[in-house]
Every structure is written in structure tokens, then in C-alpha cells.
């Protein structure tokens, strides 16, 4: 069925994206719709995935963090991609990811329209986390693009261990600083600068990731449609909670494709504590 085929295409493309990074570390002269300078790798990964996904029967629309508009492809699911999440890590050779959302509805779409979400992590090994049918499965992706499940029914560990908070400390709001100083006394810092790398730490060890609202950017940095909702869905399906800091991230109705949002994801009690501050 189409949902399987979409996930399959992203998995099959992952080794090719990984292999192609080495010669695409430079920047382009272009900016993405969020006014960030695009890397050659961002544009290339987006084009690869757009070509393959829009050719699939049952894909109705394709949208990505790297292009302004929606590519209409016929009738069927709306597919969103952050083709290379955390691509500024390419310069320093650190982890990056690809984030996928599959929505049964027109874009921009809310969390309730998601039928599946997934991410690929380009770490020392290539893995894929898939949330669908109320369960999360972690796969290893082999060099030929095939997938092998390594963890089924993945759930967040009950006792949280790690935290990662984005944004400059001097740009944090007083409210967030108060919350952060409590957490910093309880958990161990793990922040690598790529959402997917940092989220995988939280799903593995338990804890909290936040890219909060900032004094200079009240909407934070991460994109609701391409990053917040799909990753929030994976964390919620694994038994955690995804929030804007004041309410569920999965209940937000996006008004613009590229809108940003504060993101808080991780163990439910930690996220609820933030919502109560
Ligand atoms: P990047 O700018 O490298 O694409 O998507 C935005 C993102 O990375 C996330 O992956 C990451 O969590 C965050 O930005 C890192 O931002 P900071 O550099 O401000 O820490």
C-alpha cells in the first residue's frame, strides 16, 4: 500500500543521500523559505526525494522545508520532508537526519491528519524510526537500502536521563530559564545541534529535548509542519508528549506551511512540568 511504499522510498534513498554528502558540503547562493542559506546537500536531497515520491501512485502532494510551494502530484496522501535536518552539522561532520510526515489531508495539515511519520538518522550507522498504527519501530538501513527491524514497540524509558535545549542561553525567556535550571540539576546534557540526533538520544535514554521560544524569536526555530509535528507524533506514539510549551503540538492547526513553533518533546511528566511553569 502507498504508506509502505512512501516509507520504503525514503529508506531506499537514505544510503544514496549518505554517500552523496561527501561532495556536497558547500553552500549555494540560495535561501530556503525560512531565510536560511541552503547547502548543496539540502537541495540535492530534496530533489532526489521529490522525484521519487511524486512518481508514486497515491501521493497527492509533496512539500519540503527546502522549497516554497507545494508540488501537486495527483490524488492521495500529502507527504512532507525535511530532506536534511541539521545540515549545518555537515561542516563539522556530525549527525543529521531526514524527517518524513505522511498526512491524509491537504497541506498545511495538523497532527490529527498524520497516518505515519518517520525519520532517518545518519549516525555512525544509518537507522530509521517509524511511527504508524500506534507503534514505533526502529530499523537499521543496510547499504542496499533494505531495512532490518532492531527494536519493535519502542517506548520511552520511564526514568529520564538526558536533556538537550537549543537557542542561546542569553536569548532564553525568564520562564524557560527557570525551568531549564531545574532540569539541568536533574539530567545529563546531550545536545548535538541536529534535531534528529538529539531526539534519538531522548528516545534511547529518556529525557527531554526543547527548542524553546526565544526573546528574539518568540516562535522558536523549528518548523511545525516539517519537524515539530512528525517528530512529536513519533515521541507521542512512543508514550511521551509533544508540546509547544503551553499545549499539545499535535493539536495545533498550522496556518502556514513554513511556520515555526517552540518544540518540547520527551517524557510526559517533564513536558507537563514545563506546561505548568
Ligand atoms: P539546522 O539549522 O542545522 O538545519 O532544523 C533546524 C536545526 O538544524 C535542527 O536540526 C537543530 O535542532 C537546530 O536547528 C539547531 O539550531 P542551533 O544551531 O541554534 O542549535
For atom 12 of ligand 1, which residue has the closest CA? 195
Q: Which residues contact 248 (CB under 8 A, 6 or more apart)?
A: 111, 241, 242
Whole-angstrom CA distances from 34 to 83, 197, 257, 258, 265 are 14, 21, 11, 7, 22
- Name the DSSP letter for residue 70: P
211 CA from centroid of ligand 1 (Å): 9
Which segments within the chain are labelled E, that is strand? 27-31, 37-39, 59-64, 71-72, 77-85, 96-103, 114-122, 126-132, 135-141, 147-151, 162-165, 188-189, 207-211, 241-243, 263-266
Q: How many A from CA of 87 to the centre of ligand 1?
A: 8
Query: Closest Cα partner for 208 from 249, 172, 159?
Result: 159
Rounded to the nearest angstrom, the gap between the alpha carbon of residue 182 and the centroid of all alpha carbons in its chain is: 26
Three-class secondary structure of residue 5 per DSSP: helix
pTM for the whole structure: 0.97
pLDDT in tens, 14-60: 999 999 999 999 899 999 998 989 999 999 999 999 999 999 999 99
87 CA: nearest ligand 1 atom: 3
pLDDT of residue 277: 84
Location of C-alpha cell 498550522: 254
User: For residue 196, which atom of ligand 1 is closest to its CA?
Assistant: 10
Answer for the pair 62, 10: CB distance below 8 angstroms, yes or no.
Answer: no
- pLDDT (tens, 9 = 90+) of the chain, 277 residues, equals 899 999 999 999 999 999 999 999 989 999 999 898 999 999 999 999 999 999 999 999 999 999 999 999 999 999 999 999 999 999 999 999 999 999 999 999 999 999 999 999 999 999 999 999 999 999 999 999 999 999 999 999 999 999 999 999 999 999 999 999 999 999 999 999 999 999 999 999 999 999 999 999 999 999 999 999 999 999 999 999 999 999 999 999 999 999 999 999 999 999 999 999 8
How many angstroms is it from 150 CA to the middle of ligand 1? 27
Residue nearest ligand 1's atom 8 by CA: 86
> Which of 21, 166, 224 for mutating ligand 1's site (highest number of atoms within 8 Å of CB)?
166
- φ and ψ at residue 221, rounded to 5 degrees: -120, -35
> Which atom of ligand 1 lies at the shortest distance from residue 168's CA?
19
Q: Burial level of 196, CB count in 10 A (0-12/13-18/19+)? A: buried
Substitution candidate for ligand 1 out of 43, 211, 223, 263 with most atoms within 8 A of CB:
211
Residues 146-159: tens digit of each pLDDT: 999 999 999 999 99
Q: List, edge to edge, every strand of the sheet that includes 263-266.
A: 188-189, 162-165, 207-211, 263-266, 241-243
Instruction: Give Cβ neighbours of residue 147 (< 8 Å, ≥ 6 apart).
Output: 11, 128, 139, 140, 141
Atom of ligand 1 nearest to the CA of 227: 5
Distance 2 CA to ligand 1 centre (A): 31
* Residues contacting residue 144 through CB under 8 Å, at least 6 positions apart: 15
- Distance, CA 193 to ligand 1 centroid (Å)? 5
pLDDT of 1 reads 84
Centroid of ligand 1 to alpha carbon of 66 (angstroms): 14
Q: What's the rounded Cα separation, in Å, for the pair 200 and 61?
A: 28
Residue 75 grid coordinates: 490524488
- Residue with the nearest Cα to atom 4 of ligand 1? 86
Domains in the chain, ordered, with CATH? 2-151 (3.30.540.10), 162-276 (3.40.190.80)
User: Cell for 211?
Assistant: 527548542
Pocket of ligand 1 (CB under 6 A): 85-89, 166-167, 193-195, 211, 221-222, 227
Amino acid at each position: 500500500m502507498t504508506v509502505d511504499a512512501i516509507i520504503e522510498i525514503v529508506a531506499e534513498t537514505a544510503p544514496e543521500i549518505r554517500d552523496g554528502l561527501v561532495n556536497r558540503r558547500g553552500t549555494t547562493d540560495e535561501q530556503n523559505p525560512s531565510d536560511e542559506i541552503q547547502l548543496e546537500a539540502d537541495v540535492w536531497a530534496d530533489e532526489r526525494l521529490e522525484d521519487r515520491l511524486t512518481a508514486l501512485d497515491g501521493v497527492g502532494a509533496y512539500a519540503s522545508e527546502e522549497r516554497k510551494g507545494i508540488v501537486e502530484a495527483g490524488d492521495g496522501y500529502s507527504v512532507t520532508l525535511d530532506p536534511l535536518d541539521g545540515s549545518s552539522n555537515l561542516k563539522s561532520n556530525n549527525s543529521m537526519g531526514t524527517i518524513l510526515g505522511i498526512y491524509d489531508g491537504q497541506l498545511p495539515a495538523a497532527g490529527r491528519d498524520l497516518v505515519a511519520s518517520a525519520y532517518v538518522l545518519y549516525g555512525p550507522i544509518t537507522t530509521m524510526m517509524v511511527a504508524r498504527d500506534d507503534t514505533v519501530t526502529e530499523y537499521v538501513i543496510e547499504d542496499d537500502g533494505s531495512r532490518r527491524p532492531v527494536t519493535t514497540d519502542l517506548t520511552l524509558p520511564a526514568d529520564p536521563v538526558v536533556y538537550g535545549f537549543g537557542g542561546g542561553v542569553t536569548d532564553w525567556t525568564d520562564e524557560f530559564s527557570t525551568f531549564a535550571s531545574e532540569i539541568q540539576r536533574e539530567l545529563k546534557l546531550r545536545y548535538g545541534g541536529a534535531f534528529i540526533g538529539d531526539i534519538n538520544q531522548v528516545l534511547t535514554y529518556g529525557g527531554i529535548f526543547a527548542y524553546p521560544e526565544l526573546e528574539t524569536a518568540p516562535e522558536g526555530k523549528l518548523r511545525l509542519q516539517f519537524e515539530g509535528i512528525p517528530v512529536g507524533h513519533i515521541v507521542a506514539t512512543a508514550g511521551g508528549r509533544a508540546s509547544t510549551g503551553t499545549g499539545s503540538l499535535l493539536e495545533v492547526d498550522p496556518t502556514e506551511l513554513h511556520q515555526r513553533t517552540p518544540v518540547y518533546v520527551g517524557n510526559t511528566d517533564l513536558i507537563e512540568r514545563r506546561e505548568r511553569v
